[in-house]
């Protein structure tokens, strides 16, 4: 048995199984357990060391005992080990359990009486591997029948909807965490309190030094009136924060520092200040902004599928 699998196969195999089991059972989120938890890699290293050590010791003991054997025993051992695997007792035992086939010498026991023009038949039993597989399918069918047709656990349609819902949730989660998933074309005005609060927080920390905390303007222009140098509306405001101003280098591009979805929140916050008329605000600069005045950046909603395809 020991020589059945050589040690250069056995050691990696055992190690791989233990490794896979650890990765499977230890919940380590999106990173492999052996990277996230140093204890796991230490354990694996010690385990591998022990595996190799055991192999070396067992191999050495084998060599020593071999030398202690008499010539007769050595010969027996060599013979036993030179038997190919398919002829080993172990293999033969398993095969006869699985098939219960008769050897050619035993066939006279099971040959049937009929003789069809010299053609005779053996009455072999069904091989156990096949019969047991068949029983397994019956058990599976019974469980399935009871679960889905008697108890009505869930239907295929429900399963489908559940998976679609999971995929949608995954998509929605990614849409807010993937930094690239926001752009001038896609940006929309956010009005929920949470986003506005987040926008306000960043604005107060990062932008207030030039625009004043209330948006009234200091170095930068007043952001609370309806006059804009670079155009108003969510898309233009998003763009100037993201790309910076083409006219004035003081208003730098923030897209490398602030992630796009946060820029959307800041832009939404800035627009929520419209008409707030803070005390001491700077005079209006730029042109009065009328929402319809920007057809170039306005994305019209697609009305049918052909439009979706052509506007891409
Ligand atoms: C170093 C000073 C400075 C900082 C910091 C700054 N800005 Fe500005 N901002 C300016 C200046 C100056 C302008 C005017 C640009 C122009 O004339 O086109 C401007 C323009 C703008 C405009 C366009 C106004 C218009 O009328 O077109 C918006 C929107 C804006 N800033 C938002 C922000 C936000 C949001 C932040 C923080 C992330 C920020 N700014 C940080 C100086 C600054």
Average pLDDT of span 288-295:
69
Average pLDDT of span 94-103:
86
C-alpha–C-alpha distance, residues 114 and 30, integer Å: 68
Going from the Cα of 203 to the center of ligand 1, the distance in angstroms, rounded, reads 11
The answer to whether the Cα torsion of 51, 56, 60, 66 is positive or negative is positive
Two structure tokens written together for 78: 């060599």
Give the tens place of pLDDT for each residue, 268-286.
999 999 989 898 899 989 8
Two structure tokens written together for 109: 């026991």
Of 310 and 41, the structure prediction assigns the larger pLDDT to: 41
Residue 52 has pLDDT above 70, yes or no: yes
C-alpha–C-alpha distance, residues 201 and 44, integer Å: 46
Mutation choice for ligand 1 from 209, 235, 251, 268, CB with most ligand atoms inside 8 A: 251
Q: Are 203 and 269 in contact (CB under 8 A)?
A: yes
Atom of ligand 1 nearest to the CA of 223: 24
* Predicted local distance difference test score (pLDDT) of residue 178: 62
Residue 205 has pLDDT above 80, yes or no: yes
* pLDDT confidence tier of residue 179, bands split at 50, 70 and 90: low
Residue 308 has pLDDT above 50, yes or no: no
Among protein residues, the one whose CA lies closest to atom 1 of ligand 1:
250
Going from the Cα of 193 to the center of ligand 1, the distance in angstroms, rounded, reads 23
* pLDDT confidence tier of residue 302, bands split at 50, 70 and 90: very low
Exposure class string for 69-84: b at 16+ Cβ within 10 A, else e: eeeeeeeeeeeeeeee
* Predicted local distance difference test score (pLDDT) of residue 4: 66
* pLDDT confidence tier of residue 3, bands split at 50, 70 and 90: low
Nearest Cα residue to 121 out of 105, 109, 110 = 110
What's this model's pTM, rounded to 2 decimal places?
Answer: 0.48
Of 36 and 4, the structure prediction assigns the larger pLDDT to: 36
Q: Name the 3-class secondary structure at 265.
A: helix
* Predicted local distance difference test score (pLDDT) of residue 189: 92
Q: Considering the chain, what percentage of its residues have pLDDT values greater than 90?
A: 47
Q: Are 273 and 204 in contact (CB under 8 A)?
A: no
Give the tens place of pLDDT for each residue, 127-167.
999 999 999 999 999 999 999 999 988 989 999 999 999 99
C-alpha–C-alpha distance, residues 179 and 185, integer Å: 15
Q: Are 224 and 278 in contact (CB under 8 A)?
A: yes
Atom of ligand 1 nearest to the CA of 203: 37
Average pLDDT of span 214-241:
93
Ligand 1 lining (C-beta closer than 6 Å): 203, 206-207, 209-211, 219-221, 223, 228-230, 237, 240-241, 245, 247-248, 250-251, 254, 266, 270, 286
Q: Tell me what the pLDDT averaged over the chain comes to.
A: 86
Atom of ligand 1 nearest to the CA of 230: 27
Q: What is the dihedral of CA 17, 23, 25, 31, to 10 degrees?
A: -170
Range name among 14-28, 86-100, 267-281 with the lowest pLDDT average: 86-100
Range name among 91-100, 154-163, 195-204 with the lowest pLDDT average: 91-100
Among protein residues, the one whose CA lies closest to atom 40 of ligand 1:
207
* Predicted local distance difference test score (pLDDT) of residue 310: 40
């Amino acid at each position: 048995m020991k020589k059945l699998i050589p040690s250069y196969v056995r050691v990696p195999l055992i190690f791989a199984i233990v490794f896979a089991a650890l990765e499977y059972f230890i919940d380590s989120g999106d990173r492999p357990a052996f990277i996230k938890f140093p204890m796991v890699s230490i354990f694996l290293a010690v385990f591998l060391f022990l595996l190799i050590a055991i192999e070396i010791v067992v191999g050495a003991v084998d060599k020593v005992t071999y030398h202690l054997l008499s010539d007769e025993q050595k010969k027996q051992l060599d013979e036993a080990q030179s038997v190919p695997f398919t002829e080993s007792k172990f293999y033969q035992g398993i095969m006869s359990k699985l098939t219960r086939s008769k050897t050619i010498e035993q066939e006279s026991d099971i040959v049937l009486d009929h003789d069809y023009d010299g053609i005779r038949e053996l009455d072999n039993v069904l091989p156990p591997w096949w019969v047991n597989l068949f029983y397994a399918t019956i058990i599976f069918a019974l469980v399935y029948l009871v679960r889905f047709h008697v108890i009505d656990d869930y239907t295929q349609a429900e399963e489908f909807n559940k998976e679609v819902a999971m995929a949608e949730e995954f998509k929605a989660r990614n849409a807010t965490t993937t930094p690239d998933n926001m752009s001038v074309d896609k940006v929309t005005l956010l009005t929920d309190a949470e986003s506005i609060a987040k926008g306000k927080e960043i604005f107060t920390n990062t932008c207030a030094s030039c625009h004043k905390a209330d948006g009234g303007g200091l170095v930068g222009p007043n952001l609370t009136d309806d006059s804009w140098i670079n155009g108003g509306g969510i898309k233009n405001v998003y763009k100037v924060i993201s790309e910076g101003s083409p006219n004035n280098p003081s208003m730098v591009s923030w897209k490398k520092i602030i992630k796009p979805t946060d820029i959307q929140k800041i832009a939404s916050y800035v627009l929520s200040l419209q008409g707030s008329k803070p005390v001491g605000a700077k005079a209006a600069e730029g042109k009065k902004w009328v929402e319809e005045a920007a057809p170039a950046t306005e994305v019209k909603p697609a009305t049918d599928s052909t439009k979706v395809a052509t506007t891409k």
